[in-house]
Structure 1
Amino acid sequence: MSEPTPVTPNLLREWPLPEVGGSKYGRGQVLVVGGAAKTPGAAMLSATAALRVGGGRLTLAVAESVALHVAVALPESGVQPLAQDDGGHVAVGAIQSLTDDLGSADAVLVGPGLDEPEGSRDLVAGLAAAVGDETVVVLDAFALGVAADLVDELAPLRGRLVMTPNSGEAERLLGRDCSDDHTDAAEIAGRFGAVVSLGGIIAAPDGRAWAKGTGAGGLGTSGSGDVLSGAITGLLARGADVAQASVWATQVHAAAGDRLAVQVGPMGYLASELLGEIPRVLVEFGA
């Protein structure tokens, strides 16, 4: 296995993102599905990141008990309430209320803020049949925790799927201990036909791989992964392919952390603070 290609600002400038359209529809329709009653903030971080990288029209699907609050807190988004159980978890069958949104979205992110296996598994298992033929899908957080035994259900999404596991989720996807991000990301990519961003390594199912060229320990904070998955989704909605969106977003996310490490300190900055840095980093990289 060859070494991953280091990601540099020059590499990104030579791999320019697609030109964006002049309207919110021209910049792509984003759907973020997550946000149980106790954890709507994760979905909101992802959704905001999708807008910060230039995504156009945003819809957030969250548990019905928090949908109104989310609509007020994030006025840029349309909000779709999801059926929930007595514990506030997104319920089995909730995907039925997303038929129109899944069918029209350019990019769909599932996972941030989900917190219960049965409802999450039902969502992930039904995705391929519900999304449009050209819709790209990102799985993050709890959606990855239930995806290990859904290889067949996710098979129609091969080539238009991105997965953003942390080390624990990678171990669950592979059913073994994980210790080498490149090897592990490549194996997940091959198994699911997905581009995988794991620990700063981006692996494609065709064997290509990249390594982010910046970023430090401060990114290991609550909500940081939600920002990354949202940024990938927004770039996909703009028209980037799965590898390009993953490479660009992983590097932009890390560089935003670098900026905050200088402004705030190497540790202690918040995931929500990354959001304001993303547009500035994109400009620096020529986007």
Structure 2
Amino acid sequence: MPSRSEERVVTPALLRDWPLPEPGGDKTSRGTALVVGGARCTPGAVLLAGLAAMRAGAGRLQLVVAGESAVPLSIAVPEAKVLGLGPDGEPGEQVLELAGRADVIALGPGLDDIDSTIRLMGAVFEAAAADTAVVLDAYALGALSKEPGLLTQSRAVLTPNLVEAGHLLDRDLGDDLAGAAAELAARHGAVVSLYGHIAAPDGRSWREESGHVGLGTSGSGDVRAGIVAGLLARGADPAQAACWAAFAHSVGGQRLVPRYGRVGFLARELVDEVASTIASV
């Protein structure tokens, strides 16, 4: 494990010195984001992650959910191409073709079964190119805790909550979240974004200090994963995407406080703050 460096605080000044890639003239230049998840009862998680990816700058959006949710979701998100999984949660040939062409794959939002997620991850990541960027969230992280070899892509960001990070480390995190993020980053060779603490496998680390209690709401993590995916799609490197996403997620929540109070806003309202928060930097 690399020695831990002192965390740098994520500020607008730091981000301005680490500018995102300039968008090109058409949608393909800003990359294709593929979001895979959405069990039968939770297709909205994919909707939130997908819209957040587009608000963060992805040029094209593709969504994969449980088969019965595909048509309703395609109507709810007319900007996206939407495909359904098979009856047992298996990806069909079209899904695997999308995985092979995507610039970034966000996997996990809304999934609810570890065994089927393990099979899904294995198939999707095998179909993807080795340099495809990936974002793992929710049940995908549970699957990774059981099968670490599933993650074969080198450009990866993990976005665990405290419970998921505990499963990945197989221990209680205690109060040292920075240390837990660094340990996970070294173990999986991926950037880790854990409750405002971002760690890269080379030992670099950052801390985003704008987070607050209002972000602890249903769907908030799906939005954060989607922001990371959108930034990766437009060409950011994994550490850069994680830092910018942590800022956009946290500060976007702060911007909602005057309207809704500290704990009254919804994850879907966070999505609408992403683009303007990024632009404000």
- TM-score for both structures, normalised by structure 1: 0.94
Question: What letter matches 1:14 in structure 2?
Answer: D
What's 1:130 paired with? 127
On the 8 A contact 2:33/2:62 being kept in 1, the answer is yes
Query: For residues 6-85 of structure 1, what are the structure 2 equivalents within 5 Å?
Result: 6-85=9-88
Unaligned runs of 5+ in 1: 86-90
3-state secondary structure, aligned to 1:147: helix
Question: What letter matches 1:211 in structure 2?
Answer: R
Question: What letter matches 2:278 in structure 1?
Answer: L
Are 2:156 and 1:161 aligned? yes
On the 8 A contact 2:91/2:123 being kept in 1, the answer is no
Offset, 1:282? 1.1
Unaligned runs of 5+ in 2: none
Alignment equivalent of 1:107, drawn from 95, 104, 108: 104
On the 8 A contact 1:49/1:231 being kept in 2, the answer is yes
Question: What letter matches 2:189 in structure 1?
Answer: G
What's 1:88 paired with? none
Question: What letter matches 1:138 in structure 2?
Answer: V
Distance 1:70 1:273 in 2: 18
Are 2:165 and 1:170 aligned? yes
What is the aligned length?
277
Question: What letter matches 1:116 in structure 2?
Answer: D
Are 2:228 and 1:225 aligned? no
On the 8 A contact 2:144/2:150 being kept in 1, the answer is no
Distance 1:153 1:217 in 2: 33
Are 2:148 and 1:145 aligned? no
3-state secondary structure, aligned to 1:263: helix
Distance 2:65 2:220 in 1: 19
Query: For residues 245-256 of structure 1, what are the structure 2 equivalents within 5 Å?
Result: 245-256=241-252
CA RMSD of aligned residues (A): 1.2
The range that moved more, 124-133 or 170-179, is 124-133
Relative distance call for 1:241 and 1:157 in structure 2 (3 A) is same
Alignment equivalent of 1:197, drawn from 193, 198, 205: 193
Offset, 1:97? 4.2
- TM-score for both structures, normalised by structure 2: 0.96
Q: Deviations over 1:6-41 (max 9, x none)?
A: 000000011000011111111100100001110000
On the 8 A contact 2:99/2:125 being kept in 1, the answer is no
Runs of 4+ in 1 over 4 A off after TM superposition: none
